[in-house]
Structure 1
Amino acid sequence: MEQWEPDADADADDAMDAFLEKFQNEPYSGGFHEDQWEEEFEKVPLFMRKAPSEIDPNENPDLACLQSIIFDEERSPEEQAKTYKNEGNDYFKEKDYKKAVISYSEGLKKKCTDPDLNAVLYTNRAAAQYYLGNFRSALNDVTAAKKLKPCHLKAIIRGALCHLELKNFAEAVNWCDEGLQIDAREKKLLEMRAKADKLKRTEQRDIRKAKMKEKKEQNHNKALLQAVKIYFEDDGGTELYRVPLKSTLLHVLQHPRYFVKALIPAFLVCVGASGFSKNYVRGKKVHQVK
């Protein structure tokens, strides 16, 4: 005799009828409150417009549960790194660059074996660091990305941009040239190279001008020093002693013919070729201090 199994659909219908009857007779207690439904709606992970900076399991249990699933340490390093990369990208879109840097850094800490993924993490972190004004840190990241993936054009573009910000114009030109070997029509690289080359030439011109000015000033000072003559008189004022420019005050004060008057050392400083100097030494015996 054929055995009949219970009708599963009939059981489901009976259960649904019982639920609807209960729902009609008892008020639903799990709904939003009328006066604060927007705040409660915002706590539902699916409808959150912005995740809280700190997730409190007591305040947001559903979100904490989802986070524990997403960042499960039992997943492979590659999967975890991708999760942190995606999280960093979301923060980057929101212009929260500090949190983006943290997320990309966490992804790199997983030390996955995928060089392309690690290169992306470095390059994306460099972009976030750039917008934070940390140009040297950004440059370090794109350099690391380029080592992992030498043809990574985004890393090269951002590296050239960092060199521009750091005023390393010659290096910026080199990075642009390297990128143009990969894609000779890359517009950003062409524009940056032209700008970097112009700034490099201007910098080199300014350096040459500064060196010429410095040399001119040195020659002027040297000529001035050569023209300056320093003397002191003996006690009678009839003889002069010429002091070498390299002499120290102590050396001169120890000279047997030097006299200090009123406790103040006195010297005569003049331009040797001047009329005053010629008239002053005329008729006087001049000695050279050794």
Structure 2
Amino acid sequence: MASTEVQSDSDDGMDEFMDQFKTQRYKNAFTENNWEEEFGKVPMFMKSAPEEIDPQKYPELACIQSIIHDEDRSPVEQAKSLKDEGNAYFKEKKFTQAVVAYTEALKKKCGDQELNAVLFTNRAASHFYLGNMRSALNDAAAAIKIKPDHLKALIRGAQCCIELRKFVEAIQWCDKGLKVHPSDKKLQELRAAADKHKRAAERDDRKAKAKEKKLHGEKEALLTALKDRGIKLFQPVRPRSQSSDGEDEDERSSAALAELSLDGLSSQEVTGAQVFLDEQGVLHWPVLFLYPEHQQSDFISAFCENNCFRDHLTVMFGEELPPWDTDRKYHPQNLQLYFEDKEKETLYQIDPETSLSKTLKHKRFFVKAGTPSFLVLVKGSSFQKQFLTGNKVHVL
């Protein structure tokens, strides 16, 4: 009787449930818009595994995963399941997830050395494709430590060394592999490639050292030429409190000369040119002519130290005057040159017939930023008179 009542209740309940469809829609049913998405959550119909398994979103898959990772199984079985999971991720090129799966498998410490060697090798492959070459190399080494003749680990170790430009080590990995796999073509190809890269690297290193030696020699020769001529590079003036008692101008100039280095010749970064010493031992300087009246300038990339200023002024203001000279007064015979001693607030007038070398040797001339600069004014002009007012002027 009881059974009949249960059946009757069940039937009555089902009838009531089915009657609801006549008056209201089933809330949890698939729709035309979401049925593909919902089917995608069912393990049987999944095209690929999700990167993260949310039990709320993928309850069936989470249940299956919990069965796979059942702690009641032996460490070997768990490690194998995790290895298969890592392999599946690897085939889908989800290398980060593959690394995680292989790492979890290794944490099981299953004691199966053959399996552990495979796990290290597979994780090395995942790291390799992620670009983690050092981690990949470490895993390949761990696999070889367990199983010295593991071919895939030997190949992976050689590949990592080549990517890391450790060509000697790459050859060692290949030689170790070829002892046990003498006919393996991949190892043979890797060894040939590593040897080729090694010889190319050694050749490049020799060239770099030879170039460095040559540049060092040129710098030393240039420094010697500057010191022999007594040319001074601009040095920041030390505060008087830091100067030695009784230290005079000549002593400070000597100290600056003693500390002369190419660090002060930084013009190449700004102008693209730098002082150089030619094969005849002659210096060629980048030089700036400044025209303060018009806020203009001229740049000479290689002013031979033996040339006089007149030579360049004749070229720049000879047949054709610059367009900014609207008054047409910048003729060579009308121009006067000066260099400025900012520390002494003094201008030194230079004879245009003087050579650059003689001017640079003057005790109050300091080369700033590797580029000697000179002011050019029109003799007798109102601007010259105004410009020189308040400045001490020495005629050389």
Q: TM-score range by the shorter chain?
A: 0.5 to 0.7
Cα distance 1:116–1:223, how it changes in 2: closer, same or farther (>3 A)?
same
Match of 1:143 among 141, 144, 149: 141
Match of residue 72, structure 1, among 70, 95, 112? 70
1:227 equivalenced with 2:220 (yes/no): no
Match of 2:42 among 41, 44, 53: 44
RMSD, aligned CA: 3.8
Q: How does 1:136-285 map to 2 (within 5 A)?
A: 136-229=134-227, 254-255=247-248, 263-264=343-344
> Is this contact kept in 2: 1:146–1:152, CA < 8 A?
yes
Shift of the 227–146 alpha-carbon distance from structure 1 to 2, 3 Å rule, reads same
Cα distance change on mapping 1:257 and 1:98 into 2, 3 Å: closer
Conserved? CA contact 2:51–2:97, under 8 Å? no
Distance 1:258 1:39 in 2: 87
Mapped to 2, the partners of 1:62 and 1:95 lie a distance apart of 24
C-alpha separation between the residues in 2 aligned to 1:258 and 1:150?
A: 72
Note the alpha carbon deviations across 1:23-74, whole angstroms, 9 max, x for none: xxx98x9xx8684654454443233222333334444433222211110112
The 1:82/1:244 distance shift into structure 2, 3 A limit, reads same
Using the TM superposition, give the Cα deviation of residue 168 of structure 1 relative to its aligned residue in structure 2, in angstroms: 1.2
Give the number of the structure with larger relative contact order, counting CA–CA contacts within 8 Å between residues 6 or more apart: 2
Cα offset for 1:122? 1.0
Q: Which residue identity does 2:247 align to in structure 1?
A: Q
| SS of residue in 2 equivalent to 1:103 | helix
The gaps in structure 2 that reach 5 residues or longer are 1-10, 22-28, 254-340, 347-356, 362-396
Q: Kindly provide the amino acid, as one letter, of the partner of residue 343 in structure 2.
A: L
* Structure-2 change in CA distance of 1:115 and 1:227 (3 Å): same
Identity %: 54
SS at match of 1:150: coil
- CA pair 82-228 structure 1, distance change in 2 beyond 3 A: same
Give the aligned length.
Answer: 234
Distance 1:103 1:84 in 2: 6
Structure with the higher strand share, 1 or 2 = 2
SS in 1 for 2:227: strand
TM-score norm. by structure 1 comes to 0.68
TM-score (norm 2): 0.51
Kept in 1: contact 2:121–2:143 (CA 8 A): yes
Cα offset for 1:131?
Answer: 0.9
The secondary structure found in structure 1 opposite 2:213 is: helix
Residues 230 and 244, structure 1, Cα contact 8 Å, conserved in 2: no
1:213 & 1:264 partners in 2: Cα distance?
42
Higher share in helix = 1
User: What does 1:15-34 correspond to in 2, within 5 Å?
Assistant: none
